[in-house]
């Protein structure tokens, strides 16, 4: 298969983990005989420094012309520490999602047996946890009308039937491929938008008779994620709730550095780790590249290249079992491995299979 991948390293640790993700994609392409080419582009703080725009038109064109985007991170302390900054790196991420029409964020959460001790939850609660969070990405308060003043502020949460229907179809499709259970998370006892979500979900459910559809208030879902994470198979919710719940869910595995994600919709899909740019670690060769590498696995899976995706996931499992881990997940008596060393080990393992 021929693939054109846009590479957006971004800020902070982004360039370091991006290098490892690209190396793994190249190793898989060599192993399976794929023709993959890469085009790099600026995003986030790096783009602001270069051209004053966190998502320049040239970057948009590169992304739009590509088959997929391998994205890393945005964010820089100099913007975080400036409350008067009108242009911020994170605006580039929102612009990318909006301009590419990426309305569905897919975040798988799966525990690794050798890292269960890393989870803040008891081992008997998290062992075997394996679910997918589907977050609506382009609606809700993040994109609604805003007013900001010194005495009063307003964020408007708006959803249309069409927006709700399309994200629910994505969620049902994932449920059909998994254990056929979908949990729709809302706050229908308080919010009008949530009542629309629930109404539409109840109307769509008969189209998927094989899927068991559950409804759960967001506060209850937040509690169940830490009390009984194995309850969930596929969870779908609106933008703001999804932002919070997916970060909560990421802690189950013991490190945000282990979890990938995909943003899909009308345009070029984007594959990225869920963690941020961690600017304090920039250039120190300590960042965990596994979420970026597992994002590459999701990229191959998106194009139906399941053997390629599975080989990447197995390589990651082998590296963890062998103790080839960055400091955030290494055991106290384990050897030190940096970002480059972990990535190279995985590349070498793939080449030997």
Task: State the catalytic residues.
Answer: 142, 187, 219, 243, 247
User: What are the beta bridge partners of residue 181?
Assistant: 212
Nearest to 6 by CA among 77, 83, 65: 65
Burial 69-88 (b: 16+ CB within 10 A, else e): bbbbbbbbeebeeeeeeeeb
Exposed, middle or buried: residue 154 (CB in 10 Å: 0-12, 13-18, 19+)?
exposed
Q: What share of the chain is helix, strand, coil (3-state, %, to 5)?
A: 50, 20, 30
Nearest to 22 by CA among 334, 295, 243, 333: 295
Sign of torsion over alpha carbons 251, 252, 255, 260:
negative
Interior CA angle at 291 toward 286 and 294, to 5°? 135
Cα 81 to Cα 15: distance, rounded to the nearest angstrom: 22
H/E element, 212: strand 212-217
Sign of torsion over alpha carbons 219, 160, 154, 83:
positive
| 3-state class (DSSP) for residue 127 | coil
Cα 152 to Cα 212: distance, rounded to the nearest angstrom: 43
Q: Which residues contact 162 (CB under 8 A, 6 or more apart)?
A: none
Per DSSP (E only), the strands in the chain are: 2-10, 35-40, 68-73, 104-110, 130-136, 146-148, 153-155, 181-186, 212-217, 234-237, 260-264, 270-273
């Amino acid at each position: 298969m021929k693939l054109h991948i846009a590479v957006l390293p971004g800020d902070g640790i982004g360039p370091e983990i991006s290098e490892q993700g690209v190396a793994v994609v190249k190793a898989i392409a060599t192993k399976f005989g794929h023709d993959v080419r890469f085009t790099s582009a600026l995003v986030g703080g790096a783009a602001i420094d270069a051209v004053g725009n966190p998502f320049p038109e040239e970057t948009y064109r590169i992304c739009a012309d590509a088959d997929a985007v391998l994205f890393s991170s945005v964010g820089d302390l100099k913007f975080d520490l400036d409350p008067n900054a009108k242009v911020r790196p994170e605006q580039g991420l929102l612009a990318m999602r909006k301009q590419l029409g990426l309305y569905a964020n897919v975040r798988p959460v799966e525990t690794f047996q050798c890292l269960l001790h890393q989870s803040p939850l008891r081992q008997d609660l998290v062992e075997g946890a394996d679910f997918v969070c589907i977050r609506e990405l382009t609606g809700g308060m993040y994109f609604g009308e805003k007013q900001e003043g010194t005495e009063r502020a307003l964020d408007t949460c708006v959803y249309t039937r069409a927006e709700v229907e399309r994200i629910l179809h994505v969620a049902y499709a994932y449920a059909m491929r998994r254990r056929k259970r979908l949990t729709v998370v809302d706050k229908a006892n308080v919010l009008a938008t949530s009542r629309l979500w629930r109404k539409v979900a109840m109307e769509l459910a008969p189209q998927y008779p094989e899927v068991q559809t559950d409804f759960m208030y967001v506060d209850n879902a937040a509690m169940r994620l830490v009390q009984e994470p194995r309850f969930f198979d596929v969870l779908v919710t609106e933008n703001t709730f999804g932002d919070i719940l997916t970060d909560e869910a990421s802690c189950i595995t013991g490190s945000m550095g282990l979890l990938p994600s995909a943003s899909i919709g009308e345009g070029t899909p984007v594959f990225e780790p869920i963690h941020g740019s961690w600017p304090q670690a920039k250039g120190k060769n300590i960042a965990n590249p596994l979420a970026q590498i597992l994002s590459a696995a999701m990229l191959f899976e998106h194009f139906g290249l399941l053997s390629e995706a599975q080989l990447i996931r197995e390589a990651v499992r082998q590296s963890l079992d062998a103790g080839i881990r960055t400091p955030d997940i290494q055991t106290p008596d384990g050897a030190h491995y940096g970002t480059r060393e972990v990535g190279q080990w995985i590349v070498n393992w793939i080449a030997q299979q």
